[in-house]
């Protein structure tokens, strides 16, 4: 087999395993108990909704009974007098049922929506409380699905499922009771069709469960594929991968269609079967009921009235509606249980980085940083930082250099406590970062990274980032001081111009300038620049230097930089290699030393120095 075939086989295997897994998991009713807890804050409304459902179920046979009475008491004996009243009663019962149904539908939908809102709030705030390590492991798409579609499936369960199933089952029993009450002999005769329906719906549910699950798995596969291909369209087109990707898409698309057609087939089979069985019941009523009415045999004489026959015909036609509905709802219940399992797994993931119970107020100092023998690994045993110690005095600018992958970005992330270290201590103004509230710590620090994230909104909104205390004048000031105002001037509506994360209205370098302005507006005690100048073109070198100098002035700054000019200005340079702090000193000291810094300088910076 060539490598392509091996890959292809692995892919098919993975798909099969995914589908198998989806089919094996059947809902665990214990999940339902936990779900019902979400109804607790609204238990009064739920009680009323349930009460209404009971009323509706009890009233369902009322119109049929009125018609029966009209036939037996008025029409057959030739009594004109009461007909208008019976017609009036019929209308009245319809009106009562209408109001009950309207109210209960509305109430149930409202309960469902409010519960969904609560649940979404809970899931979102839970996601927010997770440390970055969590996001390293959970793809964005998966988390979005939790908050949107999984919650929606639960809504279907709340809105139609729980109360609907209850009402339907109850009305089935009520109708049967009414039939028994008026004519138990005829009722006994039609009872044998019930096992037939039970068998058919059991079979339907099993088959439709399989195809329905397959449809869902394949649909989500299709979605993931679409998402990846749209996001990565630039890469696809640049490498002319359109045709192979299109063929893969076609394959996924077909698989989804086939599963869906199977689902449709199950419905196409089941509903007519219900009709046939209903007709079977009607045939029994016509045949046996008719014989009872005609009273050929003395024992049966007068055992049935015309009104009763009419009642049975109407009841039979209504009788299996609940069966149909219940079978359809089986899927809702199943997928809701699956969705709730996934939601609960998410909600049960405890944040691994938490605030201390008795947080220490950060000291009055203004940004002294100390790393003491810091050891850190993203994955157990794979040390990324190995015993790093250094101090940055208040107001100093510290440059950090080292080859790609040596652990520079990790150092910054640890300072912000995005991850917890395994050994050692990180102190900010003399307090261990684990002893402060995360909010207090991060209040002191502004980070500017190579990839700048812009939120959908305006330029000004992206500088302000929700801090209402930052005035428009302040925004204009910081933009001017960082040189971003030159960019803003070119934009159609200045500070009110719209930006989008993927809208590409700003170049990467321009976005970095924006994030400089963001940091300056924030005015932190500690500033972290992680290759924040990598994408700003060299024409604006001088301006850039000024911007960086403005940013660093008066605060402790850790700067990971590619640019010699930035490094030269630093009070101290730390050289990181394979997670070790190998050299430390000023530019001149390190050059004289002739170690790793010297080599990096010769490789990367000398050109810049010359140019
Ligand atoms: N989120 C992460 N999970 C696991 N490993 C990571 C993660 N981020 C970085 N690493 C690894 O840690 C090492 C240091 O990475 P990083 O600090 O980003 O290096 P630098 O910024 O110096 O290029 C690299 O080997 C990298 O693969
Ligand atoms: Mg990095």
pLDDT at 300: 58
Q: Say yes or no: CB of residue 378 within 6 Å of ligand 1.
A: yes
Q: What is the pLDDT of residues 290-304, one digit of tens each?
A: 888 887 665 656 678
Q: Which atom of ligand 1 is nearest to the CA of 406?
A: 22
Last residue of a domain, one of 138, 167, 183: 183
432: left (phi over 0), alpha (psi -120 to 50) or beta: beta
Last residue of a domain, one of 157, 183, 209: 183
Residue 299 within a domain: no
Q: What is the pLDDT of residues 487-515, one digit of tens each?
A: 888 888 888 888 876 655 788 788 888 88
- φ, ψ at 88 (rounded to 5°): -60, -45
Question: 456 falls in which pLDDT band (50, 70, 90)?
Answer: confident
pLDDT at 498: 85
Residue 387 within a domain: yes
How many domains would you assign to the chain?
A: 2
Q: What is the pLDDT of residues 172-197, one digit of tens each?
A: 889 999 999 999 989 999 999 989 98
Average per-residue pLDDT for the chain: 87
Q: Whose CA is nearest to atom 14 of ligand 1?
A: 407
**CA angle (150 as vertex; 147, 154 as ends), nearest 5:** 115
pLDDT at 501: 63
Burial of 40 (0-12, 13-18, 19+ CB in 10 A): exposed
- How far is 427 from 475, CA to CA, in rounded Å? 32
pLDDT at 22: 77
Residue 244 within a domain: no
- How far is 410 from 433, CA to CA, in rounded Å? 15
pLDDT at 210: 87
Ligand 1 centre and the CA of 530: distance in Å? 13
pLDDT at 297: 60
Q: Say yes or no: CB of residue 450 within 6 Å of ligand 1.
A: no
Question: 426 falls in which pLDDT band (50, 70, 90)?
Answer: very high
The encoded tokens of residue 385 equal 């930082």
Q: Say yes or no: CB of residue 404 within 6 Å of ligand 1.
A: yes
Non-local (6+) Cβ contacts of 449 within 8 A are: 515, 530, 531, 532
Residue 267 within a domain: no
pLDDT at 199: 92
Report whether pLDDT(538) > 60: no
Residue 283 within a domain: no
Pocket test for ligand 1, best of 378, 404, 532, 574 (most atoms within 8 A of CB): 378
* Local structure of 373: helix, strand or coil: strand
Report whether pLDDT(369) > 70: yes
Q: What is the pLDDT of residues 559-583, one digit of tens each?
A: 998 777 778 889 999 999 999 999 9
Residue 465 within a domain: yes
Q: Which DSSP state fits 402?
A: -
* Residue 45: domain span: 23-183
CB atoms within 10 A of CB 457: 15
CATH code of residue 557: 3.40.50.300
CATH code of residue 171: 1.20.1560.10
**Lowest mean per-residue pLDDT among 293-307, 353-367, 392-406:** 293-307
Last residue of a domain, one of 183, 198, 217: 183
Residue 601 within a domain: yes
Strands 580-585 and 572-577, bridge-based pairing:
antiparallel
Report whether pLDDT(463) > 70: yes
Residue 395 within a domain: yes
* Local structure of 399: helix, strand or coil: strand
Residue percentage of the chain with pLDDT more than 70: 94
């Amino acid at each position: 087999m060539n490598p392509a075939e091996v890959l292809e086989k692995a892919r098919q295997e993975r798909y099969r395993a995914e589908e198998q897994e989806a089919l094996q998991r059947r809902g665990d009713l214990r999940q339902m108990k936990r779900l019902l807890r979400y109804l607790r804050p609204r238990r009064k409304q739920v009680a009323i909704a349930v009460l209404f459902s009971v009323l509706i179920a009890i009233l369902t046979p009322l119109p049929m009974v009125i018609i029966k009475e009209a036939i037996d008491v008025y029409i057959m004996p030739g009594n004109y007098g009461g007909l208008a009243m019976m017609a009036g009663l019929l209308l009245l019962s319809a009106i009562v049922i209408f109001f009950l149904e309207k109210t209960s539908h509305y109430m149930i939908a409202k309960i469902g929506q409010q519960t969904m809102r609560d649940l979404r709030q809970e899931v979102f705030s839970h996601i927010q409380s997770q440390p970055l390590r969590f996001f390293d492991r959970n793809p964005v798409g998966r988390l979005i699905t939790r908050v949107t579609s999984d919650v929606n499936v639960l809504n279907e369960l709340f809105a139609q499922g729980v109360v609907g199933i209850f009402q339907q089952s109850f009305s089935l029993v009520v109708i049967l009771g009414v039939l028994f009450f008026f004519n138990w002999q005829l009722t006994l005769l039609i009872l044998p069709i019930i096992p037939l329906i039970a068998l058919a719906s059991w079979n339907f549910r099993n088959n439709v469960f399989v195809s329905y699950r397959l449809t869902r798995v394949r649909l989500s596969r299709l979605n993931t594929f679409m998402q990846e291909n749209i996001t990565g369209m630039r890469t696809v087109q640049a490498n002319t991968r359109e045709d192979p990707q299109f063929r893969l898409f076609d394959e996924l698309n077909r698989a989804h269609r086939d599963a869906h057609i199977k689902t449709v087939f199950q419905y196409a089979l089941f509903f007519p079967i219900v009709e046939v069985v209903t007709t079977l019941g009607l045939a029994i009523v016509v045949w046996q009921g008719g014989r009872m009415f005609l009273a050929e045999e003395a024992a049966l004489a007068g055992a049935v009235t015309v009104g009763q026959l009419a009642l049975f015909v109407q009841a039979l036609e209504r009788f299996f509606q609940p069966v149909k509905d219940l079978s359809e709802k089986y899927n809702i219940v199943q997928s809701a249980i699956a969705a709730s399992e996934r939601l609960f797994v998410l909600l049960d993931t405890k944040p691994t980085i938490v605030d201390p119970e008795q947080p220490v107020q950060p000291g009055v100092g203004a940004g002294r940083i100390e790393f003491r023998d810091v050891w850190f690994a993203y994955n157990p045993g794979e040390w990324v930082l190995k015993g790093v110690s250094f101090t940055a005095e208040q107001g100093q600018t510290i440059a950090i250099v080292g080859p790609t992958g040596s652990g520079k970005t990790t150092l910054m992330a640890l300072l912000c406590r995005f991850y917890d270290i395994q050994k050692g201590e990180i102190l900010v103004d003399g307090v261990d970062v684990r002893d402060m509230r995360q909010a207090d710590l991060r209040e002191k620090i502004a980070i500017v990274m190579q990839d700048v994230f812009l939120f959908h909104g305006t330029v000004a909104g992206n500088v302000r980032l929700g801090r209402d205390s930052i005035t428009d004048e302040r925004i204009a000031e910081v933009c001017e001081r960082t040189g971003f105002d030159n960019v803003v001037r070119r934009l159609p509506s200045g500070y009110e111009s719209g930006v989008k994360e993927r809208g590409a209205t700003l170049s990467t370098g321009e976005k970095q300038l924006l994030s400089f302005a963001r940091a300056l507006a924030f005015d932190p005690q500690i500033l972290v620049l992680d290759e924040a100048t990598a994408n700003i073109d060299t024409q604006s070198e001088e301006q850039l230097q000024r911007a960086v100098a403005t940013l660093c002035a008066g605060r402790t700054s850790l700067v990971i930089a590619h640019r010699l000019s930035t490094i030269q200005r630093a009070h101290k340079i730390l050289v990181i290699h394979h997670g070790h702090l190998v050299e430390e000193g000023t530019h001149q000291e390190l050059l004289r030393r002739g170690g790793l810094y010297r080599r990096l300088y010769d490789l990367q910076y000398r050109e810049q120095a010359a140019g």
